[in-house]
Amino acid sequence: MRDVRSPGDYLAWLAKRLIHLDQPYLITGPQAAYRYHRWLTPLENLVTLQVYMEDVPLWHQMGGDGCQVFERPPTTAQVQAAQEAVILETALEPERYRRRRVMDGLAFVGPEDLCLDMVERARGETSPAEAAAIIIAQRDSLTWDLLLDQAERRGLVHRLGALLEAINTETEADLVPPKVIEGLRHRVDTAHTPLEAEIYPAGRHRSIPPLYQPIGERWGMRLTLPRYVIAKVVMDLQPQRG
């Protein structure tokens, strides 16, 4: 059964602590991803915030009374020992902050930015799976032009294009509008990434699913993502086809 709680309910503990701070922030990571796809449930006592570097000392004021503030990813033992845990990422940018989504009084990184963050950092199966889940769940509300512009700016055109084609392959439908994929193709020549055969995602798997081989060739990469990764997302989210 899907969790129908609102962001305010799910992160009530964070909202209470934010009352005492008036600094820009964005909720990112698993908490934000779950808000957009309602698929892979995150730890309720752990949240990642993007903040400005100069504000980090102020954010440490959230600590105490069972709350631990970290500037680098904590260990599992550290998270389990804390009643509440906050990870600070000094990746906040003014444009990213302007693209925020505010829900129940909480500021979340925009789905387009979050999707590309996950596409970029993929070292295994979880990040591309969550990126695919965001795209599938938010496909009717995504700002596609923004997604494509940011993919080009960040040198992620090839990775995103391959992922979008894989989604359509697994849904056996044009769940991602063909004009979006075509728009990415037009940006390949000006993208910042080279055209050598990049292995994507980096990780243990090196075999290429036969159905993905032509996709990878079209985008200049070795797409080693096992088919069950996106197939599982499609099965769980059950998007309408056609």
Domain that holds residue 155: 111-237
Q: Using the 3D structure, point to which of 57, 83, 108 is the last residue of a domain.
A: 108
Q: Are residues 117 and 102 in the same domain?
A: no
242 located within any domain: no
**How many domains, the chain?**
2
Q: Are residues 103 and 116 in the same domain?
A: no
224 located within any domain: yes
Q: Are residues 97 and 186 in the same domain?
A: no
Predicted pLDDT of residue 20 = 87
1 located within any domain: no
Q: Are residues 118 and 201 in the same domain?
A: yes
Report, as an integer, the average pLDDT of 111-126. 95
Q: Are residues 71 and 130 in the same domain?
A: no
Predicted pLDDT of residue 189 = 59
Q: Are residues 88 and 139 in the same domain?
A: no
Q: Using the 3D structure, point to which of 108, 141, 164 is the last residue of a domain.
A: 108
The pLDDT of residue 198 is above 90:
no
Q: pLDDT, tens digit, for every residue of 129-183?
A: 999 999 999 999 999 999 999 999 999 999 999 999 999 999 999 999 999 999 9
Own/partner contacts of 136-142, CB < 8 Å, gap of 24 or more, are 136/37, 136/167, 136/171, 136/175, 136/233, 136/234, 136/237, 136/239, 137/36, 137/37, 137/38, 137/39, 137/237, 138/36, 138/37, 138/111, 139/175, 139/176, 139/239, 141/111, 142/111, 142/112
pTM over 0.85: yes
89 located within any domain: yes
Q: Using the 3D structure, point to which of 108, 130, 150 is the last residue of a domain.
A: 108
CB atoms within 10 A of CB 141: 9
Q: Are residues 84 and 195 in the same domain?
A: no
52 located within any domain: yes
Provide the mean pLDDT of the chain: 91
Q: Are residues 90 and 29 in the same domain?
A: yes
Q: Are residues 191 and 77 in the same domain?
A: no
Q: Are residues 185 and 144 in the same domain?
A: yes
Predicted pLDDT of residue 4 = 56
Q: Are residues 79 and 150 in the same domain?
A: no
Q: Are residues 88 and 176 in the same domain?
A: no
Who contacts 232 (Cβ-Cβ below 8 Å, separation ≥6)? 129
Report, as an integer, the average pLDDT of 206-211. 91
